[in-house]
Structure 1
């Protein structure tokens, strides 16, 4: 492809993208295909000779869009949002065209220095103290892995990377039962092992039982284990369960644990001061993660990882072969020393565009609307005689259950069939979870382009399909 063709097809891709976003609400939210449908439309082997861009783009339009679940759809109410605000998408196009590998200051000074400033902009937006610095990891899973590795090294006086774990006391990390599975995986990868992640039972609100946390730490010390770290949850994935951050951090401090706060989804809402009670006491943490690529509007991947003492992270992860050293420059930051990966994308550019194009005021309005619309929907569903709200809204997330009077069958099966029927219908997209061993349905508002009418469509869709399903069953 020569430069003139690149210009032509870049314009074509831009026009297609604009048309896609303008017409997205007309598509079914979830891909309406069966396993293997898309694979059968793609050649088994790569071509020996080049195809024309006309043919390639035509096949893209024919095959790919209808096989995608549309995460930017205004009625995507499943999982948590993975937004891509248009202004930030433009930044991604520019970053991709530049194609920089931002591992060191010298490999992209502007990328590094913009990242320093953008992390601090987000710190200010969240109301965190000035002593928190940070970086952009790819996902919260990576940030959590970095935190768990830091727990390990700190507990072993920075000898684990060199000497390994052989002959050491088993290290223990504590988290509530509602904590994300990325913590479990981090324990695997760190070498500390699944069995040394202690899941603390939760109270009736889904928060870690602080008394049981203290008892577990005491019991472990007496049994010869070495407590190393604590993961505190703000806005759990299943139903939004949130630990008592201040109380948990106080225990962590008393016990000398490294404290990591996982606010991957809910952290975005902390740009609104009225929601910060959910993580009151967070300033006591050693590290915090939240995902601008969820609710805030940055395209994947972009996870903000704040640390109180960057030196602990660098001592854990920095490796400096001769070819990665920078001589003759003082006071620089090499962000590859703050992460597992050496290679790094130019993530700060989309945050810069995002915050400037929408402003904190615009982003706060979006989040406040989502919270209000979700809470209103929960109230309306809860007022219907054949629905019950199983967990009250936490920010924009709640769960519910269909319980028609006189239904004699398995209600768990009915609710599984309901969520499948809703998603096959295509107007909205929801997911299921378990609450108290019962099958329930999650709703979370968060699409960047969502409007109040989309919540109304959700109410109508849920009620219509539920009652039709029950009628067919009877």
Structure 2
């Protein structure tokens, strides 16, 4: 009788390599500061080291891990480096990694309550916790008319909100108009395209001296559109814009949205986490007027990507916009109306057990521990801003409200671009730039899990040395 072939890794092998994988991750995080922050490889370098065809027969895990060290690691931009100051924070933590590992190990599909009740109910509960932790409007709780759900990103959250807003109107889609600021994230424009809106039907509203949306400009634009026979239906405001960390005036914008019956979405992607601390909850003033809101624990709350918390005032509007029930998904629990099926709260059908890692992070650090890191990062950013202000060569582009400092060399665009390029090619730190008032502006984003004052001080000294050299 022919012996059955078993290609699976045995439990003993899984334990062996599982332990080694955890050891490898721990070593990587302990030593990541020694690696170049921005990968130094050239385009095509990684693929040139990989075999042209997949292996016919399975390889040992020892060989696979050897290639991780020799091929993959050199091609990484090390986002967990304490010297990573680009884009936005992506601070992870050991509890988050373990939660992600457990989620992968369980391998469940959480599209319906029935397909794993714990996946749904833990998510609902943790999202309710966060309403209290950030002191968000109570109607975002599942016990009231709204509720929360974990999306993969703020891009998906804004798209889901936009689709729900679209479904609340009977106007022809060609007549629908959406509004956001010139400083809003590009995902709003992308969401409009996906939702079937013409790019001509998205209005980018002018901003004030602090790069926040101007309510008077919004009001004027809406009135012009209505006079032209168009239907305003969606307004996206931002708490902490990507370029400058600007905080849009939610009370004024929300009042305008209510006046014209416009869906009001608020994107707090990175900055929303600051509301863990009572002294920063002013950023959410006016949020009670919003129909939907999102923020990303995977940016500044020590939780690994992907994890966006998305809330709605009225879950019925969201569910009715996205729910389709084919015969193969029907089940007794769903038909009872007593459970939440999160597949109806998002674009895809399938969903991972993402609430585990968020639950682990909150339980491990507690509110106090999470507040500690928010306060530390903001204090470091404010101190960095003072160094900029006291140096005659540099200037702030705008006073930083939280943990992002936008600054520039007074010598003009060329030297600022040279500084960014030189810093990043050195591998010692990683900064990104933007344009504010059409001027190249450097962005110092402080929020990595292991960033300390020494890292920020060394970055400033390197910036000054690079400026002197150019």
TM-score normalised per structure 2 = 0.95
Structure 1 residue aligned with 2:73: 65
Structure 1 residue aligned with 2:165: 151
Structure 2 residue aligned with 1:162: none
Deviation at 1:403, TM superposition (A): 2.6
The reply to whether residue 30 of structure 1 matches residue 30 of structure 2 is no
Superposed CA RMSD in Å reads 1.2
Contact 1:118 1:348 in 2 (8 A): yes
Structure 2 residue aligned with 1:14: 22
Q: 5+ residue gaps in structure 1?
A: 158-164, 405-410
Structure 2 residue aligned with 1:448: 449
1:64 is paired with a residue of what secondary structure? Answer: helix
Q: Distance in 1 between matches of 2:461 and 2:85?
A: 14
Q: 5+ residue gaps in structure 2?
A: 1-8, 141-146
Structure 1 residue aligned with 2:62: 54
Q: Distance in 2 between matches of 1:43 and 1:77?
A: 35
The reply to whether residue 219 of structure 1 matches residue 227 of structure 2 is no
Bigger mean CA deviation after superposition, 322-331 or 189-198: 322-331
Structure 1 residue aligned with 2:4: none
Contact 1:169 1:226 in 2 (8 A): no
**Deviations along 1:270-289, whole A, 9 cap, x unmatched?**
11111121221111100001
1:172 is paired with a residue of what secondary structure? Answer: strand
Q: Distance in 2 between matches of 1:57 and 1:325?
A: 44
The reply to whether residue 39 of structure 1 matches residue 44 of structure 2 is no
2:435 is paired with a residue of what secondary structure? Answer: strand
Structure 2 residue aligned with 1:368: 375
Deviation at 1:169, TM superposition (A): 5.3
Q: 2:344 aligns with which of 337, 343, 349?
A: 337
2:399 is paired with a residue of what secondary structure? Answer: strand
The reply to whether residue 229 of structure 1 matches residue 234 of structure 2 is yes
How do residues 19-418 of structure 1 correspond to structure 2 at under 5 angstroms?
A: 19-132=27-140, 133-156=147-170, 165=172, 170-328=175-333, 329-403=336-410, 411-418=412-419
Q: Distance in 2 between matches of 1:354 and 1:169?
A: 44
Task: Provide the aligned length of Structure 1 versus Structure 2.
Answer: 454
Contact 1:389 1:400 in 2 (8 A): yes
Deviation at 1:397, TM superposition (A): 0.6
**Deviations along 1:302-350, whole A, 9 cap, x unmatched?**
0000101001110111111111122155511100000001010111001
Q: Distance in 2 between matches of 1:330 and 1:225?
A: 37
Deviation at 1:60, TM superposition (A): 1.1
Q: Distance in 1 between matches of 2:405 and 2:110?
A: 39
Contact 2:109 2:350 in 1 (8 A): yes
Q: Distance in 2 between matches of 1:212 and 1:432?
A: 27
2:332 is paired with a residue of what secondary structure? Answer: coil
Over 6 Å off, 4+ runs: none
Contact 1:76 1:447 in 2 (8 A): yes
Q: Distance in 2 between matches of 1:188 and 1:241?
A: 25
Q: Distance in 2 between matches of 1:252 and 1:395?
A: 27
1:202 is paired with a residue of what secondary structure? Answer: coil
Contact 2:120 2:340 in 1 (8 A): yes
Bigger mean CA deviation after superposition, 380-389 or 105-114: 380-389
Structure 2 residue aligned with 1:407: none
Q: Distance in 2 between matches of 1:308 and 1:337?
A: 16
Q: Distance in 1 between matches of 2:15 and 2:287?
A: 48
Contact 1:246 1:279 in 2 (8 A): no
Deviation at 1:394, TM superposition (A): 2.4
TM-score normalised per structure 1 = 0.94
